[in-house]
Amino acid sequence: MSLVLKCIAVDDEPLALGLVCAFIEKTPFLELVGRYNSGVDALKGLHALPPGGVDVAFLDIQMQELNGLELARVLAQAGGPRVVFTTAFSQYAVEGYRVDALDYLMKPFNYEEFLRAAGKARAYAERAQALAAPHAPPAEEDCIFLKVEYQLVRVLLNDILYVEGLKDYVKVHLKSAPRALLSLMSLRAMEEKLPARRFLRIHRSFIVALDKIEAVRRLTVQIGDATLPVGDQYKEAFGQFLSRWV
């Protein structure tokens, strides 16, 4: 779903206010939620809206009672919307950036210039939205690829019973095949390929699929017809798994 920014426009000149409102309504990713002819009215209107109900305020600077710069400072202190200034006076530009305005439009400005400023507001909102969104953990792969007899073989993780280390090779014992796959790699390299949530090294020569363990007897585990030992240096990690298992 595309991001739509809720906007207000504030200007004490009716023609200028009408132009900004028309530009907002013409822009697909902007929605006009308030138009005000003074800074005081804008503050009253914002208080009537729900918190976070406005994303961008297009403010004239020279206004009676409460000018645009003063209004911008109030909005910033209250954690309110970001500001784009619209003014005929260039001498306020530096002060405008001091209040962290997104942009500064010099009157008279055309729609292309307005759209460029609106684009900055959208880019800012998209960055803020991305930073605020919870980061989902990366999806876990359901397979690995092993080099077996000069070819790459796709092996489903769910098909692996256990892995046996043989010097420079590993034998991958599968549920679906009576014959193990033989691949030229170390058991440590194989351990790094396998997700720790699903596989555990229990011996210098064995890695087991935790969900394939059928029984535990003293310091051995049973997987199918195989009885595999738990090595001394792996007892602690295996004990932690066992405490969750029982």
What domain range is 84 assigned to?
Answer: 5-132
97 and 184 part of one domain? no
Out of 106, 132, 158, a domain closes at 132
71 and 121 part of one domain? yes
Q: What share of the chain is helix, strand, coil (3-state, %, to 5)?
A: 35, 30, 30
3-class state of residue 75 by DSSP: helix
73 and 160 part of one domain? no
110 and 179 part of one domain? no
What's the pLDDT at 188? 93
Q: What is the pLDDT of residues 151-199, one digit of tens each?
A: 889 999 999 999 999 988 999 999 999 999 999 999 999 999 999 889 9
Q: Is the pLDDT of residue 94 over 70?
A: no
160 and 72 part of one domain? no
What is the overall mean pLDDT for the chain?
Answer: 88
137 in a domain, yes or no?
A: no
What's the pLDDT at 11? 96
Residues, the chain, total?
A: 246
Q: What is the pLDDT of residues 30-84, one digit of tens each?
A: 999 999 999 999 999 988 888 778 999 999 998 988 888 999 888 888 788 999 9
CATH number at residue 64: 3.40.50.2300
**Total structural domains in the chain?**
2
138 in a domain, yes or no?
A: no
Q: Is the pLDDT of residue 108 over 60?
A: yes
Confidence of residue 1 (pLDDT cuts 50, 70, 90): very low
Out of 111, 132, 153, a domain closes at 132
Distances (CA, A) of 104 to 24, 50, 86, 87, 174: 16, 27, 6, 8, 66
Find out whether 209 and 246 touch, Cβ atoms under 8 Å: no
What's the pLDDT at 129? 81
73 in a domain, yes or no?
A: yes
122 and 175 part of one domain? no
Please give the model's pTM, rounded to 2 decimal places.
0.55
CATH number at residue 202: 2.40.50.1020
13 and 125 part of one domain? yes
103 and 199 part of one domain? no
d(CA 80, CA 18) in angstroms, rounded, equals 23
Out of 98, 132, 166, a domain closes at 132
What's the pLDDT at 20? 97
85 and 178 part of one domain? no
What's the pLDDT at 139? 54
Confidence of residue 237 (pLDDT cuts 50, 70, 90): confident
